[in-house]
Amino acid sequence: MDTATFFYFLTASILLTLAPGPDNLYLLTKGLSSGAKSGIILSAGLASGIIFHTFLVMIGVAAIIQNSPSAMNLLKIFGASYLLFLAWKSFKAGRRGEKISMQKTESKSANFEIYKRGVLMNVLNPKVLLFFLAFLPQFVNLSTENAGGQIIFLGFTFAVQAFLIFSLIAVCAGKIRKFILQKKNLGQIFSYIEATVLTLIAVTLIFC
C-alpha cells in the first residue's frame, strides 16, 4: 500500500468518525453522566468491536451475512434487544434517583461491564459490519497475496483513530460534567437521557 492511499484512508476514517452518529451521541451522554474514564473505557469497547468486524471482513463472513437476509435480521433483533435492555437499566436507575458524584469510583467489574457494552454495541450491529465490508476493500488491492493483511492493517488503523477521537469526546464531556454536577436531580436526568439515546439507536437499527 502506497503512502497516498493510506493518507486518503486515514483522512476518510477521521472524517467518518467525527461525523455525528449514534456512537458519538452515546459517548457524549456517557461522558456527561459517568465521567471521562467511563467514556474512555466505552471507547475502547467500541474500538474492539471495529477490530472484530475487520476480521469478519477479512475471512469473508461479512459477505455471507450480507447475502443472508435471515442472518441480517437476526443480528438486528439481537442488537436492538440488547440496546433496549441497556435503555431499561438506565431508566430504572433514573427511577431510583441515583446521584452522580465527582468522588464516584467504578469497580473493576463495573469498568469491564462498560467495556463489554461498547464491544457488544458494535458487534451486534450489522450496519457497522456492512460499512466495513464496503469501506475497507476500496483501499486494498484484492488481487495481491497480502490483501487480507492489508485489510487487517486498515481495520486496526481505523480502530486506533476511532478510539482516540472517541476518547477525546469522552474527555470533553467529562470537563463539561464538572460544571453541571451541582444541579439537582442531575443523576436522574442523565439516566433518562441515556435510556432515550439507547432506545433511539435501537429503533434506528431496526427500521433504518
Residue 98 is classified by DSSP as -
Residue 141, phi-psi category: left (phi > 0), alpha (psi -120 to 50), beta (remainder): beta
Q: Contact 158/50 with Cβ under 8 angstroms? A: yes
Domain boundaries, the chain: 35-207
Looking up cell 468518525, which residue turns up? Answer: 17
Q: What CA–CA distance (Å, rounded) separates 182 from 170?
A: 20
**Which residue in 123, 155, 125 sits closest to 137, CA to CA?**
155
Q: What CA–CA distance (Å, rounded) separates 76 from 54?
A: 19
Q: What's the Rg (C-alpha) of the chain?
A: 18
| C-alpha cell recorded at residue 17 | 468518525
Q: What CA–CA distance (Å, rounded) separates 13 from 51?
A: 14
3 residue type, one letter = T
Ordered per-residue pLDDT tens for the chain, 208 residues: 788 899 999 999 999 999 878 888 889 888 888 888 999 999 999 999 999 999 999 888 778 777 888 888 888 888 888 888 888 877 776 666 555 444 455 667 889 999 999 999 999 988 888 899 889 988 988 777 788 899 999 999 999 999 999 999 999 988 887 776 655 556 667 677 778 888 888 888 787 6
pTM of the predicted model as reported, rounded to 2 decimal places? 0.81
Q: For residue 116, report the phi and psi dihedrals to the nearest 5 degrees.
A: -60, -35
Residues in the chain, overall count: 208
